[in-house]
């Protein structure tokens, strides 16, 4: 799979504009499952890892194809940054503004905010595993028991967070940094096919948690952005919106 290390450095602000273009956002939503945060993380690869950079960036997953001749295309490779799902953007050579050892990384939320990092901090960028449908037990490189445990751990943590931040409950927000950061990592570690199967439940549980925190922290707070980065569908109407779960349980178990 492979990984490289690098140091965060200040960018030129070009990434924020590019990530805000409609066709870029639409293609990222379709190919990555999320719209990119308006800005990229610039990482200067360490000297000792520089010779492996070309091989690390081989075989990108897809290409961003412009519908406007004023733009050039860019290749995209799925990665994780300190465990958080992200993607390296590889612009055409003629429009690159950074040196060869600087890579631009997009994600669903601000990686600096989600990871609590600043310019000069070191990060590990790892290639995302590709799903092998012929793998043992179709379990994506781990035993089925391990995979079930990961799903259970994520679901338990997400449900507990929803209850913890529910309006009217007494809560100490100092715990949220690690809690939400770990949730994002747990979600990103699940295979894409598994995430797709549980996404409806994620949208509702995590969506309600984000709605509970918005009035307390503000809609632009990094914790709210990090939670919303896990939501792919529509948000619940409110933190009290449990009606859909009730209907599903009634249909599943024959409850009246």
Looking at residue 136, its pLDDT comes to 43
Q: Are residues 104 and 164 in the same domain?
A: no
Which residues are registered as beta bridge partners of 62? 76
Question: Which of 59-63, 127-131, 144-148, 150-154 is least confident?
Answer: 127-131
- Nearest 5°: CA angle at 8, between 93 and 101? 30
Percent of the chain with pLDDT over 70: 81
92 has pLDDT over 80: no
Average pLDDT, the chain: 80
Rounded distance, CA 34 to CA 135, Å? 27
Cβ distance 6 to 103 under 8 Å?
yes
Q: Quick one: pLDDT band at residue 247, thresholds 50, 70, 90?
A: low
**Mean pLDDT over residues 25-29, rounded?**
84
**Sign of the CA dihedral running 159, 25, 32, 103:** negative
Residue 255 is assigned to a structural domain of this protein: no
**Residue where one domain finishes, among candidates 98, 127, 156:** 127
- Measure the CA–CA gap between 211 and 127, rounded to whole angstroms: 32
**168 vs 212 pLDDT, higher one:** 212
The answer on 151 and 74 residing in a single domain is no
Question: What stretch of H or E contains 25?
Answer: helix 22-32
- Beta bridge partners, 5, equal 124
Q: How many domains does the chain have?
A: 2
**Can you tell me the distance from the alpha carbon of 62 to that of 128, in angstroms, rounded to the nearest whole number?**
14
Cβ–Cβ < 8 Å for 108, 39: no
The secondary element (H helix, E strand) that includes residue 127 is: strand 122-127
Is residue 229 domain-resident?
A: yes
| Gyration radius of the chain over CA positions | 19
179 & 145 share domain: yes
End-to-end CA distance of the chain: 50
Is pLDDT of 176 > 80?
Answer: yes
Whether 30 and 100 share a structural domain: yes
Give the pLDDT confidence of 197-243 residue by residue, as tens digits: 889 889 989 999 999 999 999 999 999 999 999 999 989 888 887 65
144 & 166 share domain = yes
Which carries the bigger pLDDT value, residue 181 or residue 1? 181
CATH number at residue 97: 2.40.30.30
Residue 114: inside a domain: yes
Domain's final residue, options 127, 149, 178: 127
Alpha carbon 239 to its chain's center: 23
For 31-45, 114-128, 242-256, which range has the lowest pLDDT when averaged over its residues?
242-256
pTM of the predicted model as reported, rounded to 2 decimal places: 0.57
Q: Which of 40-49, 115-124, 241-250 has the highest mean pLDDT?
A: 40-49
Residue 182's pLDDT is: 85
- Spatial distance between the Cα atoms of 29 and 151, rounded to a whole number of angstroms: 24
CA distance 88 to 96: 13
Q: Are residues 228 and 151 in the same domain?
A: yes
Same domain, 117 and 141: no
Are 32 and 114 within one domain?
A: yes
Six token digits for residue 63: 């290409």
Last residue of a domain, one of 91, 109, 127: 127
Q: Which domain holds residue 53?
A: 3-127
User: What pLDDT shows up at residue 44?
Assistant: 94
- Looking at the fold, whether 113 and 157 belong to one and the same domain comes out as no
Predicted local distance difference test score (pLDDT) of residue 127: 87
CB 227 within 8 A of CB 235: no
CA geometry: angle 172, 177, 180, nearest 5 deg: 100
Q: Do 147 and 225 sit in the same domain of this protein?
A: yes
Per-residue model confidence (pLDDT) at position 98:
53
Q: pLDDT value at position 129?
A: 67
Among the listed residues 110, 100, 94, 81, the one whose alpha carbon sits nearest the alpha carbon of residue 15 = 110
């Amino acid at each position: 799979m492979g990984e490289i290390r690098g140091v965060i450095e200040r960018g030129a602000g070009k990434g924020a504009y590019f990530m805000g273009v409609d066709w870029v956002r639409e293609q990222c939503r379709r190919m990555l499952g999320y719209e990119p945060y308006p800005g990229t993380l610039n990482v200067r690869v360490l000297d000792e890892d520089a010779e492996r950079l070309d091989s690390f960036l081989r075989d990108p997953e897809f290409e961003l194809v412009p519908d406007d001749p004023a733009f050039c295309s860019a290749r995209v490779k799925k990665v994780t940054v300190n465990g958080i799902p992200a993607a390296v953007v590889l612009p055409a050579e003629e429009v690159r503004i950074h040196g060869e050892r600087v890579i631009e990384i997009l994600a669903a939320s601000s990686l600096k905010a989600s990871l609590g990092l600043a310019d000069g901090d070191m990060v590990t960028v790892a290639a995302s595993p590709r799903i092998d449908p012929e793998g043992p037990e179709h379990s994506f490189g781990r035993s089925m028991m391990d995979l079930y445990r990961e799903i259970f751990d994520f679901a338990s943590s997400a449900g507990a967070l929803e209850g913890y931040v529910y309006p009217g409950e007494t809560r100490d927000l100092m715990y949220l940094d690690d809690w939400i950061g770990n949730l994002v990592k747990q979600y990103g570690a699940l295979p894409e096919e598994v995430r797709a199967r549980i996404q409806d439940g994620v949208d509702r549980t995590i969506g309600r948690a984000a709605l509970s925190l918005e009035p307390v922290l503000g809609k632009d707070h990094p914790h709210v952005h990090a939670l919303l980065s896990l939501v792919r569908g529509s948000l619940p109407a409110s933190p009290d919106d449990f009606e859909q779960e009730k209907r599903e349980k009634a249909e599943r178990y024959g409850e009246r």
